[in-house]
Structure 1
Amino acid sequence: MGKFIGHLYPGLYLFYYGLYQATVVFKAMIVYDSLLYPSWPPRNKGIWARLWKISYGGLLKIVIGSILTVYVVFCLDDMMVLMDKKNALRFMYPKEWQHLTMFILLTLNGCVDVMSKNLLPRRCVLLEKCTLVLTFYVLLLLLMSHVQNSTGIELQTHCLLILVVFLLMLVLTIELWTPDTFHLLLIETFLFLMMGSWLIQVGFILYKPVTGYPWQDDDISDIMFITTFFCWHVMINASCLLGIYGISSLWYRHYCPKDAGKEM
């Protein structure tokens, strides 16, 4: 699971989640809507109103987390064994067990989202935020130990990933007190995009380099270009957010003027 697929699929999920989050945040900004309690079109009544309120983000977390959990369990030839009984009861597959913990956390976070938005009599935003923050606290701890035996290129790429996770953890922690603040949610969206795109990039750097030649741990130029590529991701993802805002603004102000002016 620590190979190319283990970086690609979680990265794609995080990146597309960031794109979805960007559309939601920018729509709320443009039409002056609430981010936590978005309104739904008046024409949606009965079953359509209930479908509109379903926590699709939570369901997606459950599905993706469950699929990745099953993949981790069955990707090894001898399955997920915790300890080797033949070798002094030593722990086996430490990184795979860390991956499994990460994906179980994602699944549980999705369950909490669905429970809060669709099962409880009244939505509990604080419960959703606390669960998400706790998930990233645990994720940061796992990543810190994940790089214990890493060196060179692998260490540099994962240190930059840890930086993004740390910043995202700080933003999510602040959101516990100000959950409906646009600029914090915009920073959160940007960091999700960064985390996803960089995780994909790490997969290509470590396991499928585009040039066909592996990166060298003892080449200082390769180490320096890792940081350069990370900076390019910062600029590209920022430009991506600007593009989404421009398209959203054009759409809601010119093609859906009623939505854009309903709260003005």
Structure 2
Amino acid sequence: MGSFKGHALPGSFFLIVGLWWAGKFSFWYATRRKKSAGHLTSRAAQRRLEVIEGATILSFSVIGMLAEQFVADGPRLHLYDYSGHHWDRLMNWQHATMYLFFGLAGGISLTVHATGSAPLALDRLLLSVAFFTEGFLFLYHLHGRAMLDVHVHQLLLYSIFGGALTAFLEVFHRGNVLLELLRASLCLLQGTWFWQIGFVLYPPSGFAEWDLKDHSNMMFITMCYCWHFAVSLLMVTVVYCTVCWVVQSRLKRTPPMEMGLLKTTEKEQESEDEI
């Protein structure tokens, strides 16, 4: 992560996941709110989406761990340098540990929804643990750094711990669309802020470097963080309104007779799945 690309990559991942969550939860809420929209989704379809999501998170986490270990200057699974008597590339190990817990969350989600042998709330609990671990690692990741470097990472902690708290509340209030959309917006905030950190600490060629000891830069970057949060909330709002409009338009185009037949078919499929 000690480069612009190293911050842009996880930033892009959190952006994609945040947009996916915003669209998924908006769609599920829109179909639940409209009783006549039951034919647009089913328990079986929801389980398939959860399985795909869990498998995707697990895959990207494994790729992240391998990248941290086997890049050109990676530790290659060596934790301690016995010749120099010091720990070997602990930053890479911390990042790999962060990916490990998101991989565990993806694997548990895959198990919960593919087999049905684990409690349903376990996926949200492990997701909360993954976010908390990410924040915990970043909290002790900043020793000896410049003032602005520390500040931009401390601001990142708000979105990380906020995501952990929101996911934990979902363990007890599953299906609460406000919590789900808040989690999506905090994930988007985390994604855009990773990109911002990349521009501040590792500006691409052609961009002026930031003075990491200037207090006015700290004031601006704090205000910029609030703008990022506003943009993430706006993005979730746009996705929510768009999904609700699409669902409503689909319902208007579906004839009543066809809707009744589809609802009957869906009920039969759900009964088979339950058996």
Shared fold, TM over 0.5: yes
Whichever residue aligns with residue 171 of structure 2, its letter is L
Q: 1:50 to 1:241 in 2, by over 3 A?
A: closer
Q: Aligned match of 2:132 in 126, 134, 137?
A: 137
More helix per residue: 1 or 2? Answer: 2
Aligned match for 1:222, one of 202, 217, 223: 217
Report the CA distance between 1:182 and its aligned residue.
1.4
Contact preservation (8 Å) 1:14, 1:193:
yes
Instruction: Out of 229-238 and 249-258, give the one that drifted further.
Output: 249-258
* TM-score (structure 2 length as normaliser): 0.82
The farther-off stretch of 11-20 and 245-254 is: 245-254
Indicate whether 1:173 and 2:164 are aligned: no
Separation (CA, whole Å) in 1 of partners of 2:55 and 2:39: 19
Partner SS, residue 146 of structure 1: coil
Give the match for residue 17 of structure 2: 17
**Counterpart-to-counterpart distance in 1, 2:229 and 2:164:** 18
Residues 14 and 53 from structure 1, CA distance in 2 versus in 1: closer, same or farther, beyond 3 angstroms?
closer
Q: Provide the rounded CA distance (Å) in 1 between the counterparts of 2:208 and 2:32.
A: 50
**Do residues 90 (structure 1) and 86 (structure 2) align?**
yes
Shift of 1:192: 0.8
Unaligned runs of 5+ in 2: 264-275
CA gap 1:142/1:107 in 2 versus in 1, 3 angstroms: same
* 8 A contact 1:190–1:237 mirrored in 2: yes
- Partner-residue secondary structure (3-state), 1:55: helix
Hey, which bits of structure 1, 4+ residues long, moved more than 6 A?
A: 48-51
SS in 2 for 1:125: coil
Look up the match of 2:271: none
Letter of the 2:29 counterpart: M
What CA deviation, in whole Å up to 9, does each residue of 1:200-236 have, x standing for no partner? 2111221125861111012222221111211111121
Structure 1 partner of 2:123? 128
What's the TM-score, normalizing by structure 1?
0.85
CA contact (8 A) 1:40 1:49 kept: no
Are the equivalent residues in 2 in contact too, given 1:117–1:124 (CA < 8 A)? no
Shift of 1:51: 8.9
- Counterpart residue identity of residue 83, structure 1: Y
Distance 1:113 1:217, change over 3 A: same
- Match of 2:111? 115
2:79/2:87 contact within 8 Å kept: yes
Larger Rg: 2
Match of 2:70 in 1: 74
Q: Which amino acid aligns with 1:57?
A: E
> How much does 1:90 deviate?
1.5
* Paired amino acid for 2:70: F
- Report how many aligned residue pairs link the two structures: 253
Report the CA distance shift for 1:39/1:102 in structure 2 as closer, same or farther (over 3 A).
farther
Q: Is the 8 A contact 1:18 1:193 kept in 2?
A: yes
CA contact (8 A) 1:53 1:118 kept: no
For 1:131, the aligned partner's letter is L
